[in-house]
Amino acid sequence: GESVGLHLPTLSVQEGDNSIINCAYSNSASDYFIWYKQESGKGPQFIIDIRSNMDKRQGQRVTVLLNKTVKHLSLQIAATQPGDSAVYFCAETVEGAQKLVFGQGTRLTINP
């Protein structure tokens, strides 16, 4: 399949386990954060977002945690399934900036 990045950090998990993907963001002024999933041969797909006035936000099988003190963002995927195999990357921006800053991504692989 197509690779979206060389030497991406890789996380391997067993099917059914929970996955935690981490992201360290760069700008302490950033106040809006997004997680994307990119499968091989496809464009990035929006998963979940969070604003800086929140510490946690939950979606369907996914939870995003934001720690502004250490500029850290994480994506938790519950009960990981084969269809979760993809590259995941975070993006950050400042209100009104109109530009996102993307992380390099983490490749999640699921072991049967």
Partner 1 sequence: DVKVTQSSRYLVKRTGEKVFLECVQDMDHENMFWYRQDPGLGLRLIYFSYDVKMKEKGDIPEGYSVSREKKERFSLILESASTNQTSMYLCASELGREGNQPQHFGDGTRLSIL
Count Cα neighbours of 32 within 13 Å in the Cβ-side half-sphere: 9
Applying CB under 8 A, the site for partner 1 has a residue count of: 30
The torsion angles phi and psi of 83, rounded to 5 degrees, stand at -70, -5
Kindly identify the residues of this chain, within the stretch 66-105, that bind partner 1 according to CB under 8 A: 89, 91, 93, 95-96, 98-100, 102-105
Structure tokens at 40: 């091989």
Choose between 91 and 108: whose C-beta lies nearer to partner 1.
91
Query: What's the min distance (Å) between Cβ of 50 and partner 1?
Result: 11
User: Do residues 31 and 52 make contact, with C-beta atoms less than 8 angstroms apart?
Assistant: yes
The residue ranges that bind partner 1 (CB under 8 A) are 2-7, 31-32, 34, 36, 41-46, 49, 51, 89, 91, 93, 95-96, 98-100, 102-105
